[in-house]
Structure 1
Amino acid sequence: MKDSRVPWIGSIPVFWEMRKISRSFSVIGSGTTPSTSNSSFHEEGSIPWVNTGDLNDNFVIEPKKKLTEYAFKEHSTLRLYPIGTLLIAMYGATIGKVGILGVGACTNQACCALAEPKNFEMRFVYYWFLDNRKNLVTLSFGSSQPNINQDLIRQLRIQAPPIPIQRCITAYLDEQTAKIDRLINMRRRQMELLKEQWAALIQQAVTRGLDPDAPMKDSGIPWLGEIPVHWKKTKLLRIAPRGRGMFVNGPFGSDLLTSELTDSGVPVVYIRDIQANGYLRVSEVCVTPEKAASLDVCRVDAGDIVVAKVGTPPGTAAIYPDTEPSGIVTQDVIRIKTDPRKVVAEFIVYWLNSDAGRASIDQISVESTRMRVDLESYKSLRIWLPPVEEQRKIKEFIQNETAKTNDLIASYARQLTLLAEYRAALIHECVTGQRTVDETSLS
């Protein structure tokens, strides 16, 4: 081995060379963005136009956008790059993302294009950039948005084994990463199937109950079908105790001004804090205890139900946890205090987040800038309820099944992490010569 004289590369085999990118490609370029206000540049375009969002560390076959012949003629900085060109993202969060053109295309200014390599297999360079993405990010500049540029890429020095070795390395990595990717895709699909099965289990439990032999009756709702005979239909409003402030949304307009929000004090609950898998506070906004006292009717306590009035779709519900201090809900959040003599709050949340609940909420949703439900329509929502003790059993059943599902998903997630780490380590070992790859390595 010998020193590559590039700190992050370290040692390389003695017969490998280090080559500057500027001397290794006949074509190094980029592109531009024709004015989006000029429809003649974009409408009914036929020339593929790659943006960094199209780069996903794979072949770029169908870029999302196209330009017209007129745009191409009017912009001298646009160039049609051939199939096999390597593209590298230079701006923002996508820095270092790469793609190999599977179709002739031009690019915007955020992509650097490398074509017509000298003494390099393009796939070897592709794997080199995959291995060195983090190092590229460390070389970026700019405070608001980190960037790299063509000049920086031109000055990069990369290791260059003999062409036959490069071919063996790329063939080996193509083969091995394809196997790893198949495993990754299989695990991801298994995770999705688990989530689908979990959702179906909840739908079954909150609309059919746990007794498969229970007598059934027609609910009168086509998308709901049959429900157990002994379940009763009620308005959602009636799950709350009687009295002021049992079923409310947060303060509107001048009742809570932006100027009254603080960094500490009583937490303010926003729709972004409400997820189908539970409440998780991500907001950092509060009000003073004095302001909270004046908005006491909008107070949320542990065990209350909080519902997002706005969303895609709206109506996501969660239990406000006992790990959080009492807070104040905003105007886009509904807070429900439940009557334990009538309902188990968790059962209601499971129903609201189920396919049946979503379908019911969809019937009362209206579209403005985003889909939303209003408080009065939400109070009138119809729900079929089993007796309280049966609700409790359904809640416990769903919680147990959820724990099993979450354990499996967490196990699969750990496997995905390990597979991704192994994939990255394999690429690194091969492109730096730490792992010997020759024709005998190929299956």
Structure 2
Amino acid sequence: MSEYRAYPAYKDSGVEWIGQVPEHWKVVRVKRLASLRNERRNDVSIETIYIGLEDVEAGSGQYKPTNESSRQSEDSTVGIFYEGDVLYSKLRPYLRKAIISEMAGCCSTEFLVLRAEKTEPRWLQDLLLTPDVTHQIASGCEGAKMPRADWWHIGSIEVVYPDQSEQAQILTTLDRETARIDALIEKKTRFIELLKEKRQALITHAVTKGLDPNVKMKDSGVEWIGQVPVHWGMKPFFALVAELNRKNTGLVETNILSLSYGCIIQKPETRNMGLMPESYETYQIVEPGEIVFRFTDLQNDKRSLRSAQVTQRGIITSAYMAVKPHSIASTYFTWMMRSYDHCKVFYAMGGGLRQSLKFEDVRRLPVLIPPAEEQRDITSAINEGTARINSLVEKTEHSVNLLKERRAAFITAAVTGQIDLRGEQ
């Protein structure tokens, strides 16, 4: 931010963690700038907008409504807010969730509903989201696992501000500059989505159509597969893999594994044998090359990747299904199951209250079988193609994170008086 100048003169704020501030700025406690609304209702109509903690993006101060809702029922107790109020999440304040309401509505009671009085709502929001103020709020929270802030503590925190006319000048410049950053973030985010779609298409095309664009095709007879190379075979799931169930009796294995984002990873909290609870005896032992499926809660989560290949010996919860391929290449089979996951094949097969699947439910699932050499070629092509895409996704995600950090640092510098945004830069 070297392109922005500082204020002509500064003074000591008198607050150690704040330090120097512009000479004409004021230092006051938050409660002098805002008041707390504490209106509660449980008779709000279902048409009234409801905002939950899940609808607020951490750190950015942006409203990102989701399809999920934390509201328990139509008559559950909610907080009431009005246009221009600042909704600040008192639960886990280190997540930095605060938005400005654009209309009246109701919200989770985990929000503090604040009415800005001596500042613009945006100024109050930006102040509460600065790292230093967040640290001050978090330091006064109660509860280790679920820390909550209260208005008494937040209201006592000292902050700085100029008069409202200068606030308006600063916020105008902030809006212009952050809009540019947000537009770039949006473009890069869309690019990441397109890369992920390309990765999905690459996998699905390779395991259902092969690598030869000139090969003769036939109808597979399976709706989600469509046309396949004429020389490919097809067998049911049970003819290609064996279900596993090696219990960790006697705690013989201590390497705890987990299925996460389509990969089998080692849990960071892996414990030594002497500290492991007896429940790990019920876990199952898995070996490299075997495949793990998570076929639980199918209807409650349609975004997760539900299968992955094991790369190291360890134990994984017995709630997951583990199989060992014997008549098909393990990695090719893994990519085939990933394609089925992308096509949402498993969701229509769930049953029961938990919408879960067992081996018997998928035993007749049709699986395509190219010749062994073609399986190896397809696997190599997918490995290389997805590696290139994954690298590009990782680099783009890194640049998005840098932009978000720059955005946050720019706002913090503006509302704490580190840079002067009153005139032309």
Q: Tell me the CA shift for residue 171 of structure 1.
A: 0.8
Unaligned runs of 5+ in 2: 1-9
> Mean alpha-carbon deviation: is it higher for 46-55 or for 80-89?
46-55
Q: Tell me the CA shift for residue 122 of structure 1.
A: 2.3
2:382 maps to what in 1?
398
Q: Does 1:353 align with 2:338?
A: yes
1:123 maps to what in 2?
122
Equivalent residue of 2:293, what SS? strand
2:4 maps to what in 1?
none
Q: Does 1:2 align with 2:11?
A: yes
Equivalent residue of 2:192, what SS? helix
Aligned AA (1:320): V
Aligned AA (1:22): K
Unaligned runs of 5+ in 1: 35-40, 241-246
Looking at structure 2, the residues matched to 79 and 295 of structure 1 have their Cα atoms a distance apart, in angstroms, of 44
> Mean alpha-carbon deviation: is it higher for 312-321 or for 213-222?
312-321
Looking at structure 2, the residues matched to 357 and 66 of structure 1 have their Cα atoms a distance apart, in angstroms, of 31
Whichever of the two has the greater Rg, that structure is: 1
2:393 maps to what in 1?
409
Does structure 1 retain, via aligned residues, the 8 Å contact 2:232–2:369?
Answer: yes
Cα shift readout 1:98-142 (whole Å, capped 9, x = no counterpart) = 111211235554332332512x22222221112133432233223
- Equivalent residue in structure 2 for 1:58, among 62, 69, 72: 62
Does structure 2 retain, via aligned residues, the 8 Å contact 1:59–1:99?
Answer: yes
How many residues align? The count is 401
Aligned AA (1:392): R
Equivalent residue of 1:279, what SS? strand
Does structure 2 retain, via aligned residues, the 8 Å contact 1:318–1:349?
Answer: yes
TM-score using structure 2 length = 0.82
Q: Does 1:332 align with 2:336?
A: no
Aligned AA (1:391): Q
Does structure 1 retain, via aligned residues, the 8 Å contact 2:80–2:106?
Answer: yes
Q: Tell me the CA shift for residue 158 of structure 1.
A: 1.6
Aligned AA (1:98): A
> Whose RCO is larger (CA < 8 A, sep 6+)?
2
Q: Tell me the CA shift for residue 280 of structure 1.
A: 1.2
Equivalent residue of 1:337, what SS? strand
Equivalent residue of 2:231, what SS? coil
> Mean alpha-carbon deviation: is it higher for 225-234 or for 430-439?
430-439
- Equivalent residue in structure 2 for 1:422, among 399, 403, 406: 406
Cα shift readout 1:10-41 (whole Å, capped 9, x = no counterpart) = 2111111112232334x43233464xxxxxx3
Cα 1:426–1:261 shift into 2, 3 Å = farther
Does structure 1 retain, via aligned residues, the 8 Å contact 2:288–2:310?
Answer: yes
Cα 1:103–1:295 shift into 2, 3 Å = closer
1:303 maps to what in 2?
289
Aligned AA (1:310): T
TM-score using structure 1 length = 0.79
1:200 maps to what in 2?
201
Q: Tell me the CA shift for residue 156 of structure 1.
A: 2.2
Looking at structure 1, the residues matched to 18 and 297 of structure 2 have their Cα atoms a distance apart, in angstroms, of 47
2:142 maps to what in 1?
141
Aligned AA (2:322): R
1:38 maps to what in 2?
none
- Equivalent residue in structure 2 for 1:266, among 253, 261, 265: 253
2:39 maps to what in 1?
31
Cα shift readout 1:83-103 (whole Å, capped 9, x = no counterpart) = 112222222367642111211
Equivalent residue of 1:429, what SS? helix
Looking at structure 1, the residues matched to 256 and 170 of structure 2 have their Cα atoms a distance apart, in angstroms, of 54
